[in-house]
Amino acid sequence: MRRKKIKLEGFNNLTKSLSFNIYDVCYARTREDLNSYLAYIDEAYNADRLVQILKDVTEIINANILNIAHQDYEPHGASVTMLIAEGDVPPGGVEETPQEPGPLPEAIVGHLDKSHITVHTYPEIHPTRGISTFRADIDVSTCGHISPLKALNYLIHSFESDIVIIDYRVRGFTRDTDGTKHFIDHDINSIQEFMSEDTKTTYQMMDVNVYGEQMFHTKMRLKEFAVGNYLFNVKAEDLSEREYTSIEEEIDHELTEIFHG
């Protein structure tokens, strides 16, 4: 059942925050290959690329960009922060958050503005085991009737996401014309409700939700596990059986540790 539209006394003061930790795991045989992988990540997810991703997010959630700050770092990583603002509040009260999933990267539509969006990247390598883990932290925080949940599917598919850890929280309260406080203005039982079918079939998921506090948490891990998808500068068929098994165990161990925290 859809929540009835709320007529507010003034502005919608609810803050809706969507936070991602996105992980990409890779294996390289030599230190030189590991350094090449880090160089690839720094190029693929440099500040300019991240700015474009966040611009797309602002269009999806219907916000307007007020300010952009971005920086590439030495030796690795990049950060982008956008201050965004909401457009006109729809007449007649607060629009409900749409229940249907938002768009995928190839289908961006819309126009947005409000609050802030940030992304920070953290490439790192294991000193002895050939494992490298790239992490991107993304926060989309909005006020008013616009919802960061619309950007959910786009962000998941914009990165090479082996594991995704998502937190969604609605903070504060807004007041209707009768003076009643409302601590949430849309229906939600799980973040998974706002994911596309493609996302749901690709990942295994686990929820931890605290409904009374408007806090929702979902962990995602790719269902398909093929060693060849995690190798950098080497093919699976070029590995000995013993080396293949060893690498498979290393990658699975890394993914399992990250997923279960």
3-state SS, residue 161: coil
Provide, for the chain, the percentages of residues in helix, strand and coil under a 3-state DSSP scheme, each rounded to the nearest 5. Answer: 30, 35, 35
Give catalytic status of residue 115 as yes or no: yes
- Encoded tokens for 250: 């290393």
For residue 125, give the amino acid letter. Answer: I
| 246 Cβ contact list (under 8 Å, min separation 6) | none
Give catalytic status of residue 120 as yes or no: yes
Options 115, 132, 141, 158, the catalytic residue: 115
Options 120, 157, 182, 217, the catalytic residue: 120
The single-letter DSSP state of residue 186 is: S
Which H or E run includes 180?
none
- Give backbone dihedrals phi and psi of 145, rounded to 5 degrees, phi first: -90, -15
Options 141, 143, 147, 196, the catalytic residue: 143
Q: Which residue has the tokens 């006109």?
A: 88
- Give backbone dihedrals phi and psi of 242, rounded to 5 degrees, phi first: -65, -45
- Encoded tokens for 225: 């596990």
216 in Cβ contact with 165 (< 8 Å): no
Q: Which residue has the tokens 């609605």?
A: 170
Which H or E run includes 131?
strand 131-143
Q: Which residues are catalytic?
A: 115, 120, 143
